[in-house]
Structure 1
Amino acid sequence: MAPRKVRHENINLTLPKGAKARMDAVLQQGECRLNMIRAAIDKEVAHREKAAPNPTEPKRDG
């Protein structure tokens, strides 16, 4: 049987001038820019999810 294909989502984004150079300047040895971007996105999403109100919790009145 053939291995299952992993489906990925693609996104194109425009960065401000100089952003790629800034990222490249701080990459660790052997690290690719794409992995750094993925890690930064995962970290920010987790942070925002943690800060977002939980829709299953009852709302408090004052």
Structure 2
Amino acid sequence: MEIENLKKAIQRLRQIMKEERYEKEENDEQEQIRTKWKAIRVKMRKRKTRRRKILQR
């Protein structure tokens, strides 16, 4: 009886750990996308200011 309960508890823990790992991977992907777009925005801003400076001369 105790062994069965332990086995079930271990299975539950493994399932929870798997789910957490998937959530973490998804979060990492979202974070990568966010940082990628941040970098693109910064590049665009730099280009804009460069154009302005050239036009002011």
Q: Please, what TM-score do these two structures have when normalized by structure 1?
A: 0.39
Task: Name the structure where helix makes up a greater proportion of residues.
Answer: 2
Higher relative contact order (CA 8 A, sep 6+): 1
TM-score normalized by the length of structure 2: 0.41
